[in-house]
Structure 1
Amino acid sequence: MPTPPAVLLLLAAQPRHALSMAVGLGTAAAATGRPLREVGLVAVTVLVGQGIIGWADDLTDRRRDERHRPDKPLVRGLDPGTVWFALTCAVLLVVPLSVAHGRRAGLAYLAIVAVSAVGDRYLHARVLSFLPWMASFALYPAFLAYGGWNGVGTTTPPTVVMTALAAALGLGVHLLSALPGLVQDHEEGERSLPMVLALRTGTPRLLLLTGVFIALVMVAIFVVANTVGLT
């Protein structure tokens, strides 16, 4: 039985990653003492933004997926026009959602979406593939620190140390998320940073090192959040 187009469209948005990011940022907002309505706004904004990034990623990788990933929605028959329509609607939605956090926070989140989508398109197969990941994650503390409600944000910037740790976490997440597709990347002749590192260390060792790195960064974020704070 064919999978309904609505289900394929949802899968193309990479819902597991979108939900994990929404829950993670919502939890971070709650940990900083934000009211429940602001926590909900953070989660919804991130969920929509991650949907945009997921759809843009599937559109970018469509031809490559046809050669290696028959399980992907666009390969299974999802119309690219449908994805473009959904992506456009999501962009029109994420702008007012972002602005609702305040001008600074809104600009930070829109920059996250733009950097993630554009960076994936142009740097995915290059050794500088880590740059958009680190840049976008480095903006998350600003998104949270400047965030407010009903278009009224704050003027307090995030700490430098929290911004640096968020950027480091982005590097770790990039390495971890790239590992399952390294075989296909190698067949395509791509030379992203994860590919270069995996060729030198081996994939199992890179997975171990990445896991340790992410764990250390998360511990550091927890310590800093409870000592220095976000702002």
Structure 2
Amino acid sequence: MRFRKRRGPAVSLALASHPLPTIAMTGGLTAAAALSGRPLRECALVAVTVLAGQLTVGWMNDLVDRGRDRQVGRQDKPVAMGWIDPGTVAFAIAVATLAVIPLSVANGTEAGIAHLGAVASAWLYNLWFQKSWLSWLPYAVSFGLLPAFLSYGGWGGGSHGSPPTIQMTVLAALLGIGIHVLNVLPDLVEDRETGVRHLPLRIALRTGAPRLLYAASAYTLLVAAGIVWTALTVGLRQ
């Protein structure tokens, strides 16, 4: 999506948050909480917690990558386009971080630790891993921690729930790898021009981007189907 017209600070902040992935993650985890039988107030808490975490991840990505985005002329990046000051985005990250910590703990101690670990892993991707062949690792870690966030989740501090099943944890981590590949595929040309050498780019240079797209799509759909089957048969919690 390209934006030709300059936007105000509020709209620029929203666009810099990577709104589509943020909405998808928030909606998906909230729906998963509801399907697991969590009451409405806990589902609402899950939604707010995940939203706050995703906002920090999206904003940090645009802030860290603003130099590379400017280099390749990205017109869908408000920070790189100069529509919003980087200091404003950094302040927004700080505010969201101060919110996500108590929100995470409000889901329960173990659930809070799992969610904060997932967010921290995503930050590490933005700060370093996205440039290396280990780019898949933070995605696997972040997604792999999400079943624990849901299975241990409750209302208020303390211990709730029980550990997630091993099957669900492994499948969630595998799903994260597929999401990573699909997420970076549209930017392969720009990443190559700016010296980024994450794993999907290395594979695409050998196989071609179309083949990688087909393979990643089939892989992700297969893993997603496995998650649905596991949820219906084995379940989320041990």
TM-score range normalised by the length of the shorter chain: over 0.9
Of residues 212, 216, 238 in structure 2, which corresponds to 1:210?
Answer: 216
Q: Quick one: percent identity of the two aligned structures?
A: 52
Residues 66-215 of structure 1 correspond to what in structure 2 (within 5 A)?
Answer: 66-68=70-72, 69-77=74-82, 78-215=84-221
After TM superposition, the score normalised by the length of structure 2 is: 0.94
User: Is the contact made by 2:153 and 2:161 (CA closer than 8 Å) also made in structure 1?
Assistant: no
User: Is the contact made by 2:178 and 2:216 (CA closer than 8 Å) also made in structure 1?
Assistant: yes
Residues 23-102 of structure 1 correspond to what in structure 2 (within 5 A)?
Answer: 23-68=27-72, 69-77=74-82, 78-102=84-108
Does the residue aligned with 2:44 lie in a helix, a strand or coil? helix
2:2 equivalent to 1:3: no
User: Is the contact made by 2:111 and 2:153 (CA closer than 8 Å) also made in structure 1?
Assistant: yes
* Structure 2: distance between partners of 1:5 and 1:168: 37
User: Is the contact made by 1:136 and 1:170 (CA closer than 8 Å) also made in structure 2?
Assistant: yes
Query: CA shift at 1:43, angstroms?
Result: 1.1
Does the residue aligned with 1:148 lie in a helix, a strand or coil? coil
Structure 1 ranges of 4+ moved more than 6 A: none
Aligned to 2:26: 22
* Structure 2: distance between partners of 1:160 and 1:71: 39
Query: CA shift at 1:13, angstroms?
Result: 0.9
Number of corresponding residues: 231
Query: CA shift at 1:152, angstroms?
Result: 4.1
Q: Given residue 61 of structure 2, which amino acid in structure 1 is its aligned partner? A: D
Does the residue aligned with 1:74 lie in a helix, a strand or coil? helix
> In the TM superposition, what whole-angstrom CA distance separates every residue of 1:154-213 from its partner, at most 9, and x where no partner exists?
251001110000000000000000000000111122211100111111111111111100
User: Is the contact made by 1:120 and 1:132 (CA closer than 8 Å) also made in structure 2?
Assistant: no
* Structure 2: distance between partners of 1:81 and 1:40: 30
Q: Which sections of structure 2, spanning at least 5 residues, go unmatched?
A: none
Query: CA shift at 1:71, angstroms?
Result: 2.8
Q: Given residue 218 of structure 1, which amino acid in structure 2 is its aligned partner? A: A
User: Is the contact made by 1:100 and 1:149 (CA closer than 8 Å) also made in structure 2?
Assistant: yes
Q: Given residue 173 of structure 1, which amino acid in structure 2 is its aligned partner? A: I
Does the residue aligned with 2:31 lie in a helix, a strand or coil? helix
Query: CA shift at 1:150, angstroms?
Result: 1.9
> In the TM superposition, what whole-angstrom CA distance separates every residue of 1:62-89 from its partner, at most 9, and x where no partner exists?
1101111133101222100100111100
> In the TM superposition, what whole-angstrom CA distance separates every residue of 1:85-121 from its partner, at most 9, and x where no partner exists?
1110001111111011000000110111111012221
User: Is the contact made by 1:101 and 1:153 (CA closer than 8 Å) also made in structure 2?
Assistant: no
After TM superposition, the score normalised by the length of structure 1 is: 0.97
* Structure 1: distance between partners of 2:226 and 2:136: 20
* Structure 1: distance between partners of 2:172 and 2:126: 19
Q: Given residue 113 of structure 1, which amino acid in structure 2 is its aligned partner? A: V
Does the residue aligned with 1:150 lie in a helix, a strand or coil? coil
Q: Which sections of structure 1, spanning at least 5 residues, go unmatched?
A: none
Q: Given residue 109 of structure 1, which amino acid in structure 2 is its aligned partner? A: H
User: Is the contact made by 1:99 and 1:105 (CA closer than 8 Å) also made in structure 2?
Assistant: yes
